[in-house]
A and B are shown apart, each in its own frame.
Chain A
């Protein structure tokens, strides 16, 4: 009988064999993925496809869709989860926490004394040339010291299986809604997989986020009014905004629902204006406040930044965070970790060239066909040039662009992203490249990381760009525990449950006499 893994060949990309999440170099199944592999192997390709169809229907009905080339498609969740054993996860988690703490310290320093610039660990030029350094954000001091309520740190596994950070997202990282929905959908379409695994839950994220947002409230507000600010229903991440507002039980507002009077932010309600204390905004800095940034913004709130400066409202994530997460600042994060925390980075960066340095620039221009070029300000996977896969003409264009404006680009040594078995249609699995975005929540005192995160898959064969705007898919990401029973289960087993009263069966139940008598009254059917 054909099974899903028939013809599964490990991928080699850019000359090196990629790390596969399920199979090791010899082709045998990794211990952590053993149960998953066996359970999937027991499924027939037909049944597998049937479940995939049920999943698409369910996503469509729940309105979890996204736009691809003008067409509304169900959210692309690959049915094969990615398994990360708990011991590996704990290392990754510690690395993410460390990184977020360093970035927090950097932002506080930058919008304050600027020690790290004086000490010449980070060049002043990096900051002053950044498009995301906002003078308007100066003097807006977060009451609990947190500027990065939510961070998404993109990591990849290199050919040796080591996690490396690819990118920090500390402005408005999106994707957490899909993490929770992916888990929910997997439990509905493949319940038997959950029966044989113990997966750390992700559903508590909205509660943690709400705590962090409440903690960010201006001083003296005991019961803060938190809102989620969305650009509107046509935004590609609208599903997530709506999801978070619903799960946190707070209002989802658009710019037109809010207004400022005397440096206080209000929302328009049916019972008049109501004060807003914390705005979890999913609107970019540029569009947030037409008074300070783009005056043509229709999705922002005029005056909100002044209200924040006056200490009457908290904006999360803070304005101006972008200065610390562009791709050039990224190259300095290991230095920030050493400088602020006195620790060695737990997660290494991908080896990166800073093109402002003439020597590095010259080297990069000579080796463009071996490197990956990324625009510093870009996001969403746009504008990335993968040297080994690019044609001569593309490289020539890139060479001119880099030479003209080196600050706008970085170059990286290509990382052969790890692969995992992925549904490629026709009831067949094949290796596809993936990355991982763990999400961290900072409430001012501690940083909490959702176990797992959003795994994104590049669906074209050999593809390395995983963004969903580029046709990427996603995987449910499982941090699996060993076999020790959970503490709660042990505690419950120790004491018997109290007996519950019997259920009232209702009148006449179990008494079939009337029915018998009625049947006796029936006439025999006419012949």
Chain B
């Protein structure tokens, strides 16, 4: 398949997952803040912004829920909002509309078209309806990708993007969670809930939330689809299928090496020790994700720099990527 299309599909997967995860996280945090009288709103908002990689405004100005929702959900001009992610996903899809199924393209396009009305509704009647809309549309998009596209290389790039983004978001969420919160049980409940993992946790362990078990569940669970290990395994599998040529020793694909190594470390580490060392582990995971992303770009997306003609003289140039 074309390198350009592979790159767009990879980012398509990432943007949709980013919108979905952001909606889930915001939904929990916003309603937690609204319900809980004891939570420091400014601090919580700042930690949320940090999680999403947004620079918070200078201290002194107290942040509130409304401001954060505006910034992280509705602001299409911003870089890390839900609306911006969905718009970017649609832009990527538009350039590769013939490589994905028309139903998938239509789902992305109609989601984008519905944004202004949904944003208006969220502003007027509370953001919950907007978050639900984003979660449902992401599910529709993921389902259509699953059931209407051939599971070929195009689909694999989409899944790799989705999986790496999921790992990235989850490790960001846990990292800031660890810094701001001090191991209190209630905070782990919030973390679990913002990954939609609370109910699954309860069904799995059948007891109240304990920090060690919660960390294990979010990082190491083999069956829960939003755990770091599970997403890494998925990405590793697809990377392996992209490059099926067996070599006698080692793995030639650098992206797969990065993902495989960190996955192995997590999978075969002692789960009992995880919670004590979580911060360091998460940093390793995040580094591996960005290294894998760079390796993918190097190997699959840039097979030769594009040539730009200027005044009759060919000039080699790096081409503008679709990534932010």
Contact = CB atoms under 8 A, between A and B. Distances in A.
A294 to B, nearest CB: 9
B292 to A, nearest CB: 15
B2 A257 contact: yes
B98 A242 contact: yes
A254 B3 CA distance: 11
Contact of A251 (B2, B95, B312): B2
A63 B105 CA distance: 8
B141 to A, nearest CB: 13
Interface residues of A, number: 29
B68 interface: no
A201 B279 CA distance: 63
Nearest to B96: A252
Contacts of A272: 303
A302 B314 contact: yes
B3 A268 contact: yes
Contacts of A290: 309
Nearest to B91: A233
Nearest to A238: B94
Interface string B93-115: 01101110010011001100100
B321 interface: no
A253 B4 CA distance: 9
Interface in A206-259: 232-233, 242-243, 245-246, 251-254, 256-257, 259
Contact of B303 (A252, A253, A268, A297): A268
Interface in A39-82: 60-63
Interface string B64-84: 000000000000000000000
Interface in B1-20: 1-6
A63 B109 contact: yes
Nearest to B300: A270
Given A62-B109, A63-B109, A269-B3, A298 B98 contact: no
A296 B310 contact: yes
Given A270-B242, A295-B309, A259 B304 contact: yes
B94 A233 contact: yes
A303 B266 CA distance: 51
Contacts of B95: 232-233
A259 B110 CA distance: 35
Nearest to A62: B106
Contacts of A252: 98-99
Contact of A246 (B3, B102, B303, B307): B102
B125 interface: no
A267 interface: yes
Chain A contact residues, majority secondary structure: mixed
A336 to B, nearest CB: 37
A273 interface: yes
B319 A256 contact: yes
B6 to A, nearest CB: 5
Contacts of B309: 290, 295-298, 302
Interface in A282-313: 290, 295-298, 302
B153 interface: yes
B303 A273 contact: yes
A256 B106 contact: no
Contacts, number: 77
B106 A61 contact: yes
A63 B97 contact: yes
B245 to A, nearest CB: 10
Nearest to A247: B98
B311 interface: yes
A297 B304 CA distance: 19
A273 B5 CA distance: 14
Contacts of B113: 60-61
B306 interface: yes
Interface centre among A62, A245, A259 (most CB of B within 10 A): A62
Contact of B106 (A63, A233, A268, A270): A63
A53 to B, nearest CB: 14
Contact of A257 (B3, B153, B307, B310): B3
Contacts of A270: 1-3, 6, 153, 157, 242, 300, 303
B120 interface: no
Contacts of B98: 242-243, 245-246, 251-252
B1 A256 contact: no
B124 to A, nearest CB: 22
A259 B2 CA distance: 13
Interface centre among B97, B98, B311, B314 (most CB of A within 10 A): B98
B308 interface: yes
Given A233-B95, A242-B97, A257-B2, A298 B308 contact: yes
B79 to A, nearest CB: 21
Contacts of B304: 259, 268
Interface centre among B3, B105, B300 (most CB of A within 10 A): B3
A302 B307 contact: yes
A396 B98 CA distance: 49
Contacts of A296: 309-311
Interface in A345-383: none
Contacts of B157: 270
Interface in A330-354: none
Nearest to B110: A61
Interface string B147-191: 000000100010000000000000000000000000000000000
A237 to B, nearest CB: 13
Contacts of B2: 251, 253, 257, 267-270
A62 B98 CA distance: 13
Interface centre among B2, B304, B309 (most CB of A within 10 A): B2
Interface of B: 1-6, 94-95, 97-99, 102, 105-106, 109-110, 113, 153, 157, 242, 300, 303-304, 306-312, 314, 319
Given A268-B4, A270-B6, 18 more contacts: A60-B110, A61-B106, A63-B97, A242-B97, A246-B98, A251-B1, A254-B4, A256-B306, A256-B319, A257-B4, A259-B304, A268-B2, A268-B303, A270-B153, A270-B157, A270-B303, A298-B308, A298-B309
Question: Ordered nearest first, which 7 A-B pairs have the shortest CB separation?
Answer: A246-B98, A61-B110, A245-B98, A270-B300, A295-B312, A242-B97, A256-B306
